[in-house]
Amino acid sequence: MPKPSFTLQRRLLLTILTLSMALNNGLGQDWSAPLPPELPWHGLSENLIVSKDDPWITPAERSGLTRTPRYGETVAWLEKLAAASSQVKLISLGKSPELRDIWLAVVTKEGVATVADLKANGRPTLLAQAGIHPGEIDGKDAGLMILRDLTVAGAHPRLLDSVNLLLIPILNVDGHERLAPFGRINQRGPVETGWRTTGGNLNLNRDYAKLDTREMRLLVQALNQWEPDLYLDIHVTDGIDYQYDITFGYIGRHGLSPESARWLDEWFTPAVTAALKARGHIPGPLVFAIDDQDPSAGLLDWTATPRFSNGYGDVRHLPTVLVENHSLKPFRQRVLGTYVLLEASLRLLATHGEDLQRAILADRTREPAMVPLDWKQTPGPSGQIEFLGVQWRTYPSAVTGQQQVRWTGELVTLQVPYRRFTEPAATARRPRAYWIPPAWDDVIDRLAVHGIYMDRMQRPREVEVEMIRFSSYQLADEAYEGHIRVTATGVVERRREIFPAGSVRIPTDQPLGDLAVVLLEPDSPDSYFQWGFFLEIFQRSEYVEQYVMIPLAQRMIDTTPNLRARFRAKLADDPDFAADPKARLRWFYEMTPYHDTRYRLYPVGWER
Ligand SMILES: [Zn+2]
């Protein structure tokens, strides 16, 4: 059968050609990433890897922790585990846009499958989330190992007597399946990774506040339902070279959850640090270099706003730890360190979870009168921090035409400046409530998905409120995460405002009151206003013809001497105005009752 075999040959040739084009981009190049030298590492945590003949070996372990399994293989392994152990239940949070289930593994002593049963067992609950950035997948493969060890392997007897574990192995399931060896140029494995953003090219770790994506809405609904006590969002970092393999951090006591931050300071950081060191790892604080071309310039203690997991956790009083494994450490070392961190977190919750639950309650009922919305560098001299760095040299680069950093792989301990960004850059006075008209139902829906309590009006309501009318605004030059962001300044007006039927009143004396403030205050960088959900108020919506406006303006001048004087003064003082016929007419029009009284008026009211 010459014809089919010819077709087959041609198809094979085409495949090889396409593949080699993709790999070489026509340049005939070696595309392996020229990473800085690998630092040698061995640690006791290597004993966590089971032997090759263990029936419960994970797909990543089978590869010597060099590969991460695809979505299908991951789910198949979890289903096998759930079939073998009644303590593991797999629950779908819902489907992604590409129709993949986002799985939650619920691991409890009794094998509970519902929120009600989880709450009934009364134990503290850890939620570990992997794959919000699928290229940074360590949490999934460490999670599978610890699920096995907690259940079928019996490696941690009695731990589930005192704590529950929820694991989201892959949050961005669609990005996870955009698999390639080229997803993470700065990272030492696994061999192939998924892609950072969703199918719609949105970054889920910028979507916690605005909730554009289905994935994030499903996650936030799960946070509201399952109410974990501690939330770990597991990433792999980029940035400069250093010795730490596992870094982690959270919003400190300056934020909106100071009691939870105190618990994290007093219990979590020491316990997790000690556990990691005992197994041979090199834990450290989150590293944000001030200048990635000069590590001696120091580090930032940056405060995330609620578009990020840790900022969101702080604002909604869910203790949230951002875990950033170092991208230049091998996948194997990172997965093992993540396992140790997960185990230490579970052990700590088992012994000190009740203290954390008390802290959460205190944060939820704190209701500060002034709510910080944004953060800036704390004034005064910066402190110093000991930094376990890697030596670097600079060299002249023909590519950039300037001096560049090259990491040498030698270990160095430095004292470097530590600049804290813990000073509020914008603050809002907490109102008694916010009023939102029903025309802004998209915003109302998003607030409801967050779990914010609201009263919906069945009839129109006349309310004494403060509102802001913007006098100037600035649109961003470029789209960011699917939005044209906006900032504005304005003047507050006291108004008796009629809010139509369907309006909502959002009281701020509720557990998520701080979150409502941060989402609704226009000075907040993660408010719906700044994300561009209210751009409609900046457009004029009714028109006036010149043949009407000119004689009307003339009548205004003729009958009002005071106005005539102001007009003359304006013409004299403002040459641009004087030269612009439309601006001159607009000046008069805006003084008439025909002018749109809602133009540039932020429709959300403050009830003081
Ligand atoms: Zn990340």
Q: How many angstroms separate the alpha carbon of residue 411 from the centre of ligand 1?
A: 26
Q: How many angstroms separate the alpha carbon of residue 321 from the centre of ligand 1?
A: 13
Q: How many angstroms separate the alpha carbon of residue 100 from the centre of ligand 1?
A: 21
- The neighbouring-strand residues paired with 387 are 414
Q: How many angstroms separate the alpha carbon of residue 204 from the centre of ligand 1?
A: 9
Q: How many angstroms separate the alpha carbon of residue 236 from the centre of ligand 1?
A: 6
Q: How many angstroms separate the alpha carbon of residue 264 from the centre of ligand 1?
A: 21
Separation between Cα atoms, residue 513 and residue 453, nearest integer Å = 9
pLDDT at residue 27, rounded to an integer = 74
Q: How many angstroms separate the alpha carbon of residue 564 from the centre of ligand 1?
A: 62
Q: How many angstroms separate the alpha carbon of residue 420 from the centre of ligand 1?
A: 22
With contact defined as beta carbons under 8 Å apart, do 333 and 245 qualify? yes
Separation between Cα atoms, residue 415 and residue 552, nearest integer Å = 72
Q: How many angstroms separate the alpha carbon of residue 221 from the centre of ligand 1?
A: 21
CA-CA distances (angstroms) from residue 347 to 125, 272, 352?
A: 11, 10, 9
Q: How many angstroms separate the alpha carbon of residue 241 from the centre of ligand 1?
A: 17
Element (H, E) at 2: helix 2-24
With contact defined as beta carbons under 8 Å apart, do 84 and 90 qualify? no
Q: How many angstroms separate the alpha carbon of residue 272 from the centre of ligand 1?
A: 20
Tens digits of residue pLDDT in 177-213: 999 999 999 999 999 999 999 999 999 999 999 999 9
Map tokens 């198809």 to a residue: 11
Separation between Cα atoms, residue 487 and residue 208, nearest integer Å = 20
Q: How many angstroms separate the alpha carbon of residue 134 from the centre of ligand 1?
A: 8
Q: How many angstroms separate the alpha carbon of residue 31 from the centre of ligand 1?
A: 23
Q: How many angstroms separate the alpha carbon of residue 235 from the centre of ligand 1?
A: 4
Here the tokens at position 11 are: 């198809």
pLDDT at residue 3, rounded to an integer = 44
Q: How many angstroms separate the alpha carbon of residue 597 from the centre of ligand 1?
A: 45
Give the amino acid at 66.
Answer: T
Q: How many angstroms separate the alpha carbon of residue 333 from the centre of ligand 1?
A: 18
Separation between Cα atoms, residue 321 and residue 453, nearest integer Å = 26
Q: How many angstroms separate the alpha carbon of residue 135 from the centre of ligand 1?
A: 8
Pairing state of beta strands 504-507 and 433-436?
Answer: antiparallel
**269 burial type by CB count under 10 A (0-12 exposed, 13-18 middle, 19+ buried):** middle
With contact defined as beta carbons under 8 Å apart, do 108 and 118 qualify? yes
pLDDT at residue 144, rounded to an integer = 98
Separation between Cα atoms, residue 29 and residue 32, nearest integer Å = 9
Q: How many angstroms separate the alpha carbon of residue 438 from the centre of ligand 1?
A: 36
Q: How many angstroms separate the alpha carbon of residue 439 from the centre of ligand 1?
A: 36
Q: How many angstroms separate the alpha carbon of residue 237 from the centre of ligand 1?
A: 6
Q: How many angstroms separate the alpha carbon of residue 502 from the centre of ligand 1?
A: 39
Q: How many angstroms separate the alpha carbon of residue 558 from the centre of ligand 1?
A: 66
pLDDT at residue 382, rounded to an integer = 83
Q: How many angstroms separate the alpha carbon of residue 367 from the centre of ligand 1?
A: 31
Q: How many angstroms separate the alpha carbon of residue 136 from the centre of ligand 1?
A: 6
User: Model pTM greater than 0.75?
Assistant: yes
Here the tokens at position 252 are: 């400190």
Q: How many angstroms separate the alpha carbon of residue 317 from the centre of ligand 1?
A: 22
Q: How many CB atoms lie within 10 A of CB 331?
A: 26
Q: How many angstroms separate the alpha carbon of residue 322 from the centre of ligand 1?
A: 9
Q: How many angstroms separate the alpha carbon of residue 467 from the centre of ligand 1?
A: 38
Find out whether the peptide bond into 190 is cis, omega within 30 degrees of 0. Answer: yes
Q: How many angstroms separate the alpha carbon of residue 297 from the centre of ligand 1?
A: 24
With contact defined as beta carbons under 8 Å apart, do 280 and 44 qualify? yes
Instruction: Tell me 49's DSSP state.
Output: S
Give the amino acid at 552.
Answer: L
Separation between Cα atoms, residue 587 and residue 574, nearest integer Å = 13
Q: How many angstroms separate the alpha carbon of residue 130 from the centre of ligand 1?
A: 10
Residue 235 — φ and ψ, nearest 5°?
-125, 180
Q: How many angstroms separate the alpha carbon of residue 606 from the centre of ligand 1?
A: 36
Q: How many angstroms separate the alpha carbon of residue 288 from the centre of ligand 1?
A: 13
Separation between Cα atoms, residue 318 and residue 237, nearest integer Å = 23
Angle between helices 546-559 and 561-573 (to 10 degrees): 110
Tens digits of residue pLDDT in 340-363: 999 999 999 999 999 999 999 999
Separation between Cα atoms, residue 570 and residue 584, nearest integer Å = 10
Q: How many angstroms separate the alpha carbon of residue 133 from the centre of ligand 1?
A: 5
Mean pLDDT by 10 residues, the chain (608 residues): 48 52 66 95 98 98 98 98 98 98 98 97 97 98 98 97 98 97 95 97 98 98 98 95 98 98 98 98 94 90 96 98 98 98 98 98 98 94 93 96 95 95 97 98 98 98 98 97 98 98 98 98 98 96 93 96 96 97 95 94 98
CA-CA distances (angstroms) from residue 571 to 568, 577, 584, 585?
A: 5, 7, 9, 12
Coil, strand or helix at 106: strand
Separation between Cα atoms, residue 296 and residue 291, nearest integer Å = 8
Q: How many angstroms separate the alpha carbon of residue 451 from the centre of ligand 1?
A: 25
Q: How many angstroms separate the alpha carbon of residue 84 from the centre of ligand 1?
A: 33
Here the tokens at position 358 are: 């008390």
Pairing state of beta strands 125-130 and 230-236?
Answer: parallel
First to last CA, the chain: 85
